[in-house]
Every structure is written in structure tokens, then in C-alpha cells.
């Protein structure tokens, strides 16, 4: 049982810029916000507003120029690359727009992949994967390869892979961007269930207002600056 109090994600004064040739292009400008545990947050904004960059910083796959990000009490901005890799393995679940499953592995093996970094035995891993696939209603497709699954099913496998290590936060970058309306609805319902039933904290980047409508809080980014929050009807 987790006993930690306060926000699970604390973002403080984050600046990030990219170099394009000799020019420095600012992407994020003094971003500060918190996310509470069990919250479903949507990051919206036009292309190039910096929302994916912000998501990458929170997920520990990119480095900020300055500022701090603390997740679950760990200041990840001070971790080395190796420490970050270890931290990501147990604290972050990723859901991508294009599912990003390994094509030569079955659904079962794709979900099992992150568990290779844990000390779990083979039978222990099997137990966890069965549970995760059941949670996304794909037990009957465990032996299928990604190419044998629909887009929605592949995304559900990706979600099972994201939750398999019971991470602190789930980050999703346009998770419905490549799906038809029906499949997108299924995925969003599944993500809602992860928040409501499993108490997961989800940070989702999206362009889709319907997807954002499922979140508790919507944060708007424009030219690297965070606008005031919009509380969705789906508030806690």
C-alpha cells in the first residue's frame, strides 16, 4: 500500500530548447504544474506547442535545460542515463500512437518484454502477462503476432505492456491517433478503467477533444507556455 502524500508528479520551472543549426528554438518556457495520484491529465495544444516534449521529459526519455521534475518523490532530472533507464523500467508505462510493438514477438512476448528487467521467474512472468492480457480482454490473442492483430488490438497489447510492471505513471502520446472511432473509444474506456479501477495516474497527449474529454484535467500548451487548466466534465 502506497503511503506517500502530495502530488505524484511535480514539474518545476522547466525550460527546454532545441538547436536548429546555429539557432536555438525555445520549446518549453517555465513550465510548472502538479499532477495528483490517480489523476487523468490530458495535454493539448497545436503541433509544435511542446506537449510531446513535455511528456518525454516527464517520462524520463529526454533532458530539460533547467528546472526539476519529481515523480513519486524521485527527482528524475538529477538521474544519470543509466539510472533513468532503471527508473523507467519500474515507474513508467508507455502507450504510443503507433503501438510500437516488436513485430517478431507474439502479443504475450511483447507484454512479457519489460518483465525481463525484473527478477521474476518464468512462471511468475507468465502469471503477470496472463493477468495483463485478461485486463485488456486479449487472452485469446496471446499467441498472435502484431501483424495478425487489428490496430485497436495492438494498442490494447501496448497498454498491457505499459501496465505489466505496475508503474507509477502511464504516459500516452496520441494513443488514439491511429485508430478508427470505435477502436479509439475502446482504448479510451480502457484507460479510464485503469484510472478508476486500478488508480493509475495517466498523462495523455492528444489532439482529439473527445479523447481529452475523458481526462479529469486538460492542460493547454501554446508556444511552450502552459495556459490555465480546464477541468473536464469527467472530473474526479
The residue range among 71-79, 81-89, 193-201, 226-234 that interacts with another protein, by the rule CB under 8 A, is 81-89
Near another protein by CB under 8 A: residue from 13, 32, 90, 137: 90
Task: Check residue 77 and report its DSSP letter.
Answer: G
Among 11, 14, 44, 112, binds another protein (CB under 8 A): 112
- Asked if 215 and 234 count as a contact pair (C-beta separation under 8 A), the reply is yes
Sole residue written with cell 492483430 = 149
Of 211, 107, 201, 112, the closest CA to residue 157 belongs to 107
Q: Which is nearer to another protein, 33 or 87 (CB)?
A: 87
How many Å apart are CA 184 and CA 173, to the nearest integer?
A: 13
Q: Is 61 in the site for another protein (CB under 8 A)?
A: yes
Q: Of 25-33, 58-66, 136-144, 185-193, which segment contacts another protein by CB under 8 A?
A: 58-66
Q: How far apart are CA 74 and CA 72, in angstroms?
A: 6
Rg (Cα) of the chain, in Å, rounded? Answer: 18
89 binds another protein (CB under 8 A): yes
Q: Order of strands, edge to edge, in the sheet holding 74-75?
A: 23-35, 9-20, 66-71, 74-75
Cell reading at 118 = 525484473
What is d(CA 189, CA 211) in angstroms, rounded to the nearest whole number? 10
Please tell me whether residue 17 binds another protein under the rule CB under 8 A. Answer: no
Q: Which of residues 170-209 bind another protein (CB under 8 A)?
A: 178
Residue 56 touching another protein (CB under 8 A) = yes
CB-wise, 109 or 192, nearer to another protein? Answer: 109
Q: Which residues would be at the binding site for another protein (CB under 8 A)?
A: 53, 56, 59, 61-62, 81-82, 85-90, 94, 96-98, 100, 102-105, 109, 112-114, 116-117, 161, 178
Amino acid at each position: 500500500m502506497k503511503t506517500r502524500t502530495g502530488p505524484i508528479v511535480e514539474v518545476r520551472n522547466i525550460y527546454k530548447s532545441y538547436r536548429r543549426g546555429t539557432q536555438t528554438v525555445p520549446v518549453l518556457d517555465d513550465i510548472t504544474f502538479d499532477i495528483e495520484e490517480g489523476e487523468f491529465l490530458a495535454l493539448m495544444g497545436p503541433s509544435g506547442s511542446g506537449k510531446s516534449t513535455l511528456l518525454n521529459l516527464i517520462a524520463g526519455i529526454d533532458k530539460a535545460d533547467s528546472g526539476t521534475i519529481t515523480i513519486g518523490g524521485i527527482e528524475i532530472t538529477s538521474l544519470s542515463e543509466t539510472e533513468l533507464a532503471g527508473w523507467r523500467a519500474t515507474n513508467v508505462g508507455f502507450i504510443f500512437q503507433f503501438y510500437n510493438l516488436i513485430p517478431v514477438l507474439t502479443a504475450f512476448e511483447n507484454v512479457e518484454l519489460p518483465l525481463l528487467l525484473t527478477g521474476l521467474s518464468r512462471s511468475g512472468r507468465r502469471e503477470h502477462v496472463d493477468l495483463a492480457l485478461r485486463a485488456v480482454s486479449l487472452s485469446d490473442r496471446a499467441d498472435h503476432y502484431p501483424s495478425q492483430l487489428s490496430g485497436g488490438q495492438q494498442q490494447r497489447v501496448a497498454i498491457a505492456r505499459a501496465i505489466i510492471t505496475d508503474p507509477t505513471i502511464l504516459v500516452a502520446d496520441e494513443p488514439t491517433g491511429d485508430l478508427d472511432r470505435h477502436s479509439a473509444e475502446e482504448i479510451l474506456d480502457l484507460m479510464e478503467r485503469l484510472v478508476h479501477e486500478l488508480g493509475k495516474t495517466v498523462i495523455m497527449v492528444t489532439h482529439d477533444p473527445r479523447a481529452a474529454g475523458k481526462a479529469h484535467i486538460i492542460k493547454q500548451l501554446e508556444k511552450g507556455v502552459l495556459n490555465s487548466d480546464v477541468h473536464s466534465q469527467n472530473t474526479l
